[in-house]
A and B are shown apart, each in its own frame.
Chain A
Amino acid sequence: MQHLTLDDAATLLLQLEASDTADLTKLRDALTTLAFENLVPLPAQPFVARAARVLGTIIAGTTADANAAFTDVSEAIEEAMRVTDASAAPIMPAPAASAPAASVAAAAVAAAATPTPVAPVRSAQHDVGSDQLPEDADRDLLPDFITESHECVANSEAALLNLEENPSDEEAVNTVFRAFHTVKGTSAFLGLSRIAAFAHEAESLLSRVRDKEIAYAQGCADLSLRSVDMLSALLASVVTALEVDGRIPVPVGYHELLDALASYDPALHAHGVVLTERGESEQRNSASPDIAPAGNSAPASTNNRANTAANNAGAAPSSAAANAARQARGEPSTDATIRVRTDRLDRLIDMVGELVISQSMIAGDESLATGKAHELLRKVTHSGKIVRELQDLSMSMRMVPLRATFQKLARVVRDTAVKAGKQVQFVTEGEDVEIDRTLVDILGDPLVHMVRNAVDHGVEGPADRAKAGKSNAGTVRLSAYHASGNVVVELIDDGRGLYREKLVSKAIEKGLIESDKSMSDSDVFSLIFAPGFSTADKITDISGRGVGMDVVRRNLESIRGRIDITSAPGNGTTFAIRLPLTLAVTDGMLVRVGQERFIVPLTHIHMSFRPEPAMLSTVVGHGEVVLLRGELMPIVRLHRLFDVPNAVESPLEGLLMIVGDGKRRKALLVDELLGQQQVVAKTLGAALGKVPGVSGGAILGDGRVGLILDVNETVALAQHDGTVPLKWDRDRQRDVAA
């Protein structure tokens, strides 16, 4: 047997038991070889590596549930096989990144009694020691990734050193773990599978430390620090690839370190993993002394790359060619970025907002309006232009395109579709639409949920689709566009759609509603956002547990987003998410109550109207309600809630504003509407703490502070105060009616 194939591994695994330590070890070593010697395509490597690692825990007897671990291994191998099949790339022969590396691995495998001849012949045609930057790599995102990752590296280095002083510092372990985790996630998404695979292994080691599976001993510390160095080197390789020709050289010592990470055994390595000089291979298994010569022979090999690396710090570019290229260039990369603390940025944006307001105060000054100060007016107008440009610029500083978010979802669609055995085509539009950075962060999770749902629930299996006369592959379309000052993100699937009856009967069964009378289609569809609601017939690990959609809605509401569903049975479902462009500016309605003014966010207002006497009634003497188009809504008197003097008492003289949604709609009584206004939301200051019913303040046109109403909280407050008898003056109503 030349090499163990994945199929062989899967077959072998079925025949083995946890007690067959020797055979399992063989299997593990074979898998390790597969994973890290490029015998399987890159996408499959992480899975194979995971299989090897879990096998390691079975062998070491550190796993709690051997059966679960076996399942885990076989799943990982299956996944790897699937990815291998899916990958169009031909399977490369054993790499010759550095000849010593290959021979060490060979020796190690040989030591484990798996005869695996390796031909460490350096091929001139394909230098398999290098990866290519993915064809579709987003060169705009890569520099950000590198900046971010360097930060992670710096953080984890500091944390690791700290950890050495104080091995029980859990926070330090977590910091390093998170750093690797972040790098893993981002690099996987950018298609840098080698970095992802490496970060995964490093993360795994740390997760074992974190879970107290192994102690943070000397060996572990060595490996972790080396991993950090390696990560730096890998990042440097990517920089090289970006600058030169798209080829990512593999840093020297990469395979050895991966091996060491995968096979770290606290029992054997607690007092240190023997690693030879930088850039060379380390003794991977102290039980097999015969690999030592191979390791030691590395420095002797006149490998240009190894020598370069040996002369440089760990983070230095590992390829002589890249070094030369960099020196020749002698200039920093063009798209330089500076990281700025967000609070400073926010303050800047704030100040610019204030500048705009004060500028408009100057421009509106009476002395300018007389027409006498012609020169001054010209100057003021000129500065006004500058201020507006400044405002545009400051707003754009927080904006990022949705591209990254969408690309991440492509992966989710693919994985979910494979798991559910469906064919799904994922189409995205409007990736260049820009949106506030904080919104992107919060939008990500809900979209993942929704996209999964669309694939799992929405799109039918091939058989059902054929029956319905649709093409085999379903389509999930994600598009973003601007509409009336908002960003709309639409998720459209051409699946089975939502069935009103099914939703209604489920909701009645769950006690969410009593009947669907007077419920519009969109009301019924909104039921899927109720906690614990799921129409999936069976629960899968993808969806069906009924958690999710309520979280989706809550997340979206936290960023003042609104979600609408349209659907027709058999014709798919459309989710439209409306988001503000930025959280820095709130679209609000300025309302007056007594002598006080409040800002109600527009997203919460459905409509406002002056009621007719016939629409008003009371319930049990005090609860006031208004009947609008067949819907009964409690009236909330803002002036009573906030203790405002001299406000309009009768709803007939004021205005009712319908706020809230679904079953929780309320009619807010205000004196009058003063107009729509864009305001910059600010906190009321830490010294005040949380003010009930108020989400913040904003500077109004006259320089005074207006309070921004937290509608949901206000409604909740009203519920609380409901015990206080409301004295609605019925006599007055009768008078007005008469």
Chain B
Amino acid sequence: MAAVLPIPAAEAVAAPAGPWRRALRRLVRRRAALLGLAVVLGFIVLAVFAPWVSPQDPIATSWSAIRKAPSAEHWFGTDEIGRDVLSRVIWGTRASLLAGVVSVSISLLIGVPIGMAAGFLGGWVDGVISRITDAFLACPFLILAIALAAFLGPSLTNAMVAIGISAAPIFVRLTRGQVLSMKVEDYVEAARAVGNPPWRIALRHILPNITAPLMVQATLAIAAAVIAEASLSFLGLGQQPPAPSWGSMLNTAKNFMDNAPWMAIWPGVSIFLLVLSFNLLGDGLRDALDPRQR
């Protein structure tokens, strides 16, 4: 064991870089995480440049090209009203990425301030917030999202709100726990001793120190949100036709499995790849940002 000890010391001498730079270096060493990052970036490029990349109009129907198998003209085939599946898959990237990022942003915007209030203020505030969080967590995530989306009405925006609200309690709990453990650290005591007001301690001293676990959780939550959006769209509660989304494409595809199986393959492959990449990236970030968890 003694032989292991000098290594971190040597590393500290050789690399006086900050914790973020060291984390980045650890991340770069993980090939799976880099692969995940590359695929995510690829999807972002597809989403941004969809109008230029997609070979055809994603909502243009063609009665002469109904349920055509993949060919040189339609690489992924066509759907039940003659739309180009490849173009719809490319445009569908927008709905999925948007849903992933927007709903997790909503979760963070709700969850982090509330979690900080609970952890920092303690007492009855913490008690009330924790009980409400328990109540939300008692409803299975997707069932709560379905119920919220049902009452709000079916649309992509409402689906994102529903997913964001349903996932927020996880961030409340995580933030609260992190704040509780940071609150007793010496540097927070020191900040308090020199007369910093509580809000300044919370925002300037505690928040920057809990960003790492929040980032990891957010990345993994995007993966869950992408699946959730696809699920809601599959059930008809997300993106509304004719706008393309991977979930709603699969919903239609299941009615044509006998004679147009290609309709079901590509949207599913896309969801799988995007979710897998966010999961790989999240796992890599966790290892890079929090080496103790390894």
Q: Do A and B originate from a single complex?
A: no
Q: Which residues of B contact A (CB under 8 A)?
A: none
Q: Which residues of A contact B (CB under 8 A)?
A: none
